[in-house]
Chain A
Amino acid sequence: DGGITQSPKYLFRKEGQNVTLSCEQNLNHDAMYWYRQDPGQGLRLIYYSQIVNDFQKGDIAEGYSVSREKKESFPLTVTSAQKNPTAFYLCASKNYNNEQFFGPGTRLTVL
């Protein structure tokens, strides 16, 4: 099956810990994105990558880090510097028609 996968579906973190969220796509898309969604709000862009080995900060990058070593993978690390990390995290990729598709999401809860 072609698509975007995110893991884990649910993640619990203790305060002070770093955690990494996985995002993989087999759609051969160059561009990939990470968004954060809070209850009752739209999506806010954390980081995006237009091509392998390159990425840019989005609107709320503080406390997060990413890497793009492979075209298929765009992992997001939520560091201890992120003060309010509890949220629903969504990964997306974009095709050559500029259509952006989303993964199923990871719900992160800080205990």
Chain B
Amino acid sequence: SQELEQSPQSLIVQEGKNLTINCTSSKTLYGLYWYKQKYGEGLIFLMMLQKGGEEKSHEKITAKLDEKKQQSSLHITASQPSHAGIYLCGADLGAQKLVFGQGTRLTINP
């Protein structure tokens, strides 16, 4: 959706390195969702952020929502092969439904 821009579209990092994926909206986000997807499979729920400035962590993955509630970042520390996949952000723009970014394909090189 053009309402939600995700960057980069693809990312290749060396195992053990840190990385960041961004998700930007031109509208205020009522909720921002991060998901992970393996090819051909469903989406795995990672985190949901709702408050400006909110930050959540799950294992080595941290997500933040900026104070203006228009941008979110997903940060992975010390990446591992298990982190490889497609990361998708989804946004609640206030219409009881989510719009999604195009996804970021993450490859971890050993």
Contact = CB atoms under 8 A, between A and B. Distances in A.
**Do most interface residues of chain A lie in helix, strand or loop, or is the interface mixed?**
strand
Given A43-B88, A43-B90, A107 B100 contact: no
B97 interface: yes
A99 interface: yes
Given A100-B33, A100-B90, A42 B97 contact: no
- Range, interface on chain A: 20 to 34
Contacts of B31: 98
Interface of B: 1, 4, 6, 31, 33, 35, 40-45, 48, 50, 88, 90, 92, 96-103
Interface of A: 4, 6, 31, 33, 35, 40-45, 48, 50, 58, 88, 90, 92, 97-105, 107
